[in-house]
Amino acid sequence: MGEIKEAGKGDIRHTKTICEADRIKMKNSLHLSPHTPVGLANKIQFDIRLYFFRRGGENMDQMTKDTFTIKRDENTHRRFVIKVKDELTKNHRGGDEESFSGIMPDTGDEFCPVQSFERYINFLHPKCNRLFQYPKTSFLNDDTCWYQNKPIGLHCLRNFMPTLSRLCQLSDNYTNHCIRATGATILAENSFGVADIMSVTGHKSVSSLAIYQRTSQNRKLEMADALAAASGKSQQLVPVKQKAPRSSATASATATSFTAAVTASVTTTTPVATVARNPNILSEEEVSLMFEEFSEDSPASKPPALFEQCSMQGCTFNITIHPK
**pLDDT tens, residue by residue, 285-316:** 665 655 555 555 555 545 555 455 555 566 66
Residue 192's pLDDT is: 83
Distance set, CA 46 to CA 39, 57, 141, 164, 239 (Å) = 10, 12, 23, 10, 56
- Cα(5)–Cα(259) distance, rounded to whole angstroms? 58
Asked if pLDDT for residue 79 goes beyond 90, the answer is yes
Q: What is the CA radius of gyration of the chain?
A: 34
Residue 142's pLDDT is: 86
pLDDT band at 190 (very low <50, low <70, confident <90, very high): confident
Class of domain 2-216: mainly alpha
Distance set, CA 105 to CA 68, 86, 89, 116 (Å) = 13, 20, 24, 11
Give the domain ranges of the chain: 2-216, 238-324
Mean pLDDT of the chain: 74
Asked if pLDDT for residue 275 goes beyond 80, the answer is no
The number of residues making up the chain comes to 324
* Nearest Cα to Cα of residue 98 among 67, 74, 121, 130: 67
- More confident call, 87 vs 144: 144
The secondary structure of 116-154 as a DSSP string is HHHHHHHHS-TT--BSSEEEPSS--TT-S--EEEEEPPH
